[in-house]
Each structure stands twice: as C-alpha cells, then as structure tokens.
C-alpha cells in the first residue's frame, strides 16, 4: 500500500511553488509589456520625421493587449493549480479508516425521473466518486471485499425500506428502476429476488383492481359513444401496466369496437347524404357531407367528399334562393308585405349578385310602399 501521507505534502509544496512562480512570471510580463508599450508610444508621439501612422499606434496597442492576455492566462493557470491543491488536500483529509466506512456515491439512489440535480448536487456527487476511487486504491483486497459487502448490505437495507413505501404509493415504475440499478451494481444478491417478488405481487394486485375499474368505465363510455374518452382510459391503463396481456387485450377490444362504430357511423352518414342528393335536397346533403368531413377528417370518404363540396355549396345556395323567392311570392299573394319585404332584403344582402337580387332591387321600393299603406290601414 503506498505511503500517501508522506508523498502528499511534497507534491503539494511543489504545486504551490509552481503556482507562485506562474503568478510572478505573469506579473513581470505585464510590467515589461506595459513599459515597452509606453516607451513605444512616447517614441511615436515625439517623432517628427517621418510622421507616425495609425498602424504603428495600433501595433503598440496590440502588443499591450497580447501581453496582458498572456499574463491573465498565467494567473488563471496558477489559480487552477491552487484550486486543485485544495481539492487534493480535502481528499487527503480522509484516510483508510474513513474510506472503509464511507458510503459510495454510486450506491445512493438517484432522484425520481423528471427531477433534475442542481449543479451543487452534481459537484457533490463528483467529489464523492473521486473520494470513492481514492479509497478503493488505498484498500487491500480483503479490505475491498469487506467494503463491498458492507455497501451491499447497506443498499439492501435502504431498498427494503424504500420499495415498500413506493408500492404503497402505487409507484411501481420507480420501484422497478431502483431495484434494477441496485441489481446492476450487485447482481447476485438473493435479496433482489425477494424485492422483485414483492413488486410483482403488488403489480398483480394493482393490475387486477385497475383492470376491473377501467373495464367498467370503458364499457359505459362505449355505450355512450364516447370513443375518445374510452381510448384515453385504456391508454392511461397501458402506461401503468405496460407488460400486462389483459390490459393489452382490453386495449385491442376498445380500438376494434371504436373502428367498427366509426365505420358504421360514416356509412350511415354517407347513405343519408346520397339519399338527400337523389331527392335533390342540396341543403341537407351539404349538411351531412360537412358532418362526415368534420367528424372523420382523415377517412377516405372525407377526402373524396372534399372534392364535391364546391358543387354542393353552389347547388344549396341556388336552392335556398329559390325557396326564399317562392316565400316572397306567397307572402305577397297573402298581402303580408312586411314579411315579404324582410325576406327580400335578406336575399339581396346575402346574395347581391344573384338573378333574384337583381329583380328584387326594383321591387323593394314598391314592397316598402305597400307595407307602409297596410300599416296605416291597420287599427
């Protein structure tokens, strides 16, 4: 085993001497460069022939900056050496006795998924890892074996407390992750099988309860036609129990039923739209086609119907104008001039370029007159 305590102070003194030398060299360099720059600037300022040019002043300034940059680099290197010496002194403060009882950083449980370590925590972990490597180098083979056994026993006791707590919180994923990390560090401990059995027993218990509750909820949602909500329920259940065959089967059942129901709904709407088209009820056909496109935008039927939308809209507008024109005629025959005037004004406003609007613009003044006369005759 190396005599670390005897080698340490000599190495530390040499490092401190080197750092002090770098500081002195940097200081001398800064002084010399500054003096040379001042002398150069004085010479340029007092020289008459030939007159100095701007490039000479720039060169002098560049020399000053380069010298100071080199000095700062030397000072930074000296500070780095000093910090390393302090870290080494801190590490040397422990000894073989402390190393045998130290808890390794690698055996500590990491924070839960999604929670990030702070820079201070990462630095502390780095220091612990460095200390652990130092300790292992200092130990003999029997001491290393004893240390490893103590670490394994400490980790077992820790997980025997943490995993039941995680299981009570239904946090199976974190329990699996912690056990997997521990098994990777100490692969052949019988305690891991016991903890694995506890996790699997809890998983089976939670899976049965969650599956029953999700099945009831999904059946109710499917009966109501709330397919999006039903799919969300089984997706959440699958995330909690990703390896369960029963959960996978429930998911398949929901997806198959949803696809079948949506296919039947699309077929029903398409049949109704075709019937409306056959009887030339363009407004109803347009409403049904827009419903198919809105509810099933990615279906092949929707892609085909989008090409027919302009024609359907044009036909529906023509049919609506014709109905409004017929209403106006019926109201005039019934001498309901006020209502006829309202519909005529609405038609002209909505479809100003239509043939009906061009005819009604000439009739609106007469309808206004008739409506006013009728209003005067009424008591």
Is 185's pLDDT higher than 50?
Answer: yes
Q: Is the pTM of this model over 0.85?
A: no
> How much is the pLDDT for 109?
40
| 250: in domain | no
> How much is the pLDDT for 327?
86
Per-residue confidence band for 111, with pLDDT thresholds at 50, 70 and 90: very low
Per-residue confidence band for 125, with pLDDT thresholds at 50, 70 and 90: low
Question: How far apart are alpha carbons 118 and 373 in whole angstroms?
Answer: 86
Q: Which of 74, 91, 108 is the last residue of a domain?
A: 91
| Overall average pLDDT of the 60-75 stretch | 80
> How much is the pLDDT for 256?
92
| 134: in domain | no
| Overall average pLDDT of the 9-16 stretch | 54
Per-residue confidence band for 52, with pLDDT thresholds at 50, 70 and 90: low
Is 77's pLDDT higher than 80?
Answer: no
Is 9's pLDDT higher than 60?
Answer: no
Is 273's pLDDT higher than 80?
Answer: yes
- Structural domain of 14: 4-91
| 351: in domain | yes
- Which of 49-58, 245-254, 357-366 ranks highest by mean pLDDT? 245-254
Q: Which of 36, 71, 91 is the last residue of a domain?
A: 91
| 203: in domain | no
SS3 of 312-366: the string is HHHHHHHHHHHHHHHHHHHHHHCCCHHHHHHHHHHHHHHCCCCHHHHHHHHHHHH
Report how many domains make up the chain: 2
231 vs 118: which has the higher pLDDT:
231
Question: How far apart are alpha carbons 260 and 257 in whole angstroms?
Answer: 5
| 179: in domain | no
Question: How far apart are alpha carbons 302 and 290 in whole angstroms?
Answer: 9
**Which residues 6+ apart lie within 8 Å of 197 measured at CB?**
none
> How much is the pLDDT for 59?
77
Is 6's pLDDT higher than 50?
Answer: no
For tokens 């990462």, what's the residue?
122
| Overall average pLDDT of the 247-252 stretch | 90
Question: How far apart are alpha carbons 104 and 177 in whole angstroms?
Answer: 19
| 109: in domain | no
Q: For 134-154, write each residue's pLDDT tens digit.
A: 666 666 778 777 877 888 888
| 223: in domain | no
Question: How far apart are alpha carbons 70 and 202 in whole angstroms?
Answer: 65
| 371: in domain | yes
Q: Which of 91, 111, 136 is the last residue of a domain?
A: 91
55 vs 180: which has the higher pLDDT:
180
Question: How far apart are alpha carbons 138 and 128 in whole angstroms?
Answer: 15
Q: Mean pLDDT across the chain, nearest whole number?
A: 77
> How much is the pLDDT for 309?
85
């Amino acid at each position: 085993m190396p005599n670390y305590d005897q080698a340490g102070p000599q190495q530390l003194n040499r490092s401190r001497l080197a750092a002090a030398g770098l500081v002195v060299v940097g200081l001398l360099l800064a002084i010399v460069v500054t003096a040379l720059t001042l002398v150069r600037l004085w010479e340029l300022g007092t020289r008459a022939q030939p007159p100095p040019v701007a490039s000479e002043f720039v060169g002098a300034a560049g020399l000053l900056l380069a010298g100071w940059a080199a000095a700062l680099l030397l000072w930074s290197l000296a500070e780095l050496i000093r910090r390393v010496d302090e870290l080494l002194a801190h590490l040397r403060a422990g000894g073989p006795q402390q190393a045998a009882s130290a808890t390794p950083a690698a055996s500590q449980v990491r924070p839960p998924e999604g929670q990030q370590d702070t820079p201070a925590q990462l630095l502390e972990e780095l220091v612990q890892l460095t200390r652990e490597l130092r300790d292992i180098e200092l130990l003999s083979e029997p001491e290393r074996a004893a240390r490893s056994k103590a670490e394994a026993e400490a980790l077992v006791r820790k997980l025997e407390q943490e995993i039941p707590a995680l299981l009570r919180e239904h946090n199976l994923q974190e329990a699996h992750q912690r056990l997997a990390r521990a098994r990777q560090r100490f692969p052949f401990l019988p305690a891991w099988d016991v903890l694995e059995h506890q996790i699997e027993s809890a998983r089976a218990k939670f899976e049965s309860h969650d599956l029953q509750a999700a099945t009831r909820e999904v059946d109710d949602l499917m009966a109501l036609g709330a397919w999006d909500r039903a799919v969300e329920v089984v997706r959440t259940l699958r995330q909690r129990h990703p390896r369960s065959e029963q959960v996978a089967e429930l998911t398949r059942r929901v997806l198959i039923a949803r696809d079948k129901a949506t296919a039947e709904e699309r077929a029903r709407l398409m049949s109704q739209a075709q019937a409306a088209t056959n009887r030339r009820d363009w407004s109803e056909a347009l409403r049904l086609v827009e419903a198919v496109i809105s509810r099933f935008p990615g279906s092949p039927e929707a892609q085909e119907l989008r090409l027919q939308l302009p024609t359907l809209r044009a036909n529906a507008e023509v049919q609506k104008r014709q109905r409004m024109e017929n209403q106006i005629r019926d109201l005039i025959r019934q001498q309901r001039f006020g209502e006829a005037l309202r519909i005529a004004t609405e038609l002209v406003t909505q479809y100003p370029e239509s043939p009906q609007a061009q005819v009604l613009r000439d009739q609106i003044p007469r309808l206004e007159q008739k409506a006013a006369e009728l209003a005067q005759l009424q008591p």
